[in-house]
Homo-oligomer: A and B are copies of this chain.
Amino acid sequence: MTKLDALDLKILDLLQKDARLTNKEIGLRVHKSITAVYERIKRMEDQGVIKRYVAILDPNQLNRQLNAFTHIQLKDHSKQVLFDFEKTVVAYDEVMECYHMSGSYDFILKISVSDLSAYHDFLINKLFTTAVIGHLESTFVMREAKMDTAFNLDM
């Protein structure tokens, strides 16, 4: 695993903002040849620094305009219960993110659905059927002020 230099970081910075940039275009911006850019990107893909390339879609045009954060405390914390709960919830389409947390609740889920009624259905038909939930608190996103996948790669 080679260390990343300033040029690598600059290339990553461009790609995490726009994955459709061609090597030629990147080369122009970092003042390197196409080949140099190509080889560095290839190396970083192989290293796993670049995990994948994805298209970001507009939730509003795909009927996913309601986002909720669901905070969950389990009834008990045996390894098996934690494992099973995690395995079950990550399989649900509505669950975009699932984190096992330190602190006063065990899990934070980010849920993406069409409306409150769909969220209700999700709770009743999916989450509550796991039966290991001790406490649950739902809060809803009124406004998404920032939602970024790109890190600042301070250069």
Within 8 A of B (CB), among A85-129: 86, 89-90, 93, 95-105, 108, 112
Chain copies in complex: 2
Mark each residue of chain A from 119 to 144: 1 if its CB lies under 8 Å from any CB of chain B, else 0. 00000000000000000011111111
Whether B53 pairs with A20 at a CB distance below 8 angstroms is yes
Q: A77: which B residues are within 8 A, CB to CB?
A: none
- Asked, given contacts A19-B54, A55-B16, whether A139 binds B101 with beta carbons under 8 Å apart, the answer is yes
How far is B112's CA from A16's CA once the two chains are assembled, in angstroms?
16
Which chain A residues numbered 15 to 56 have a C-beta less than 8 Å away from chain B? 15-20, 47-56
User: Is A62 among interface residues, defined by CB-CB distance under 8 A?
Assistant: yes
Residues of the B chain whose Cβ atoms lie less than 8 Å from the Cβ of A79: none
Cβ–Cβ contact A146 & B16, under 8 A: no
Scoring A49, A55, A67, A151 by chain B CB atoms within 10 A of each residue's CB, the highest score goes to A55
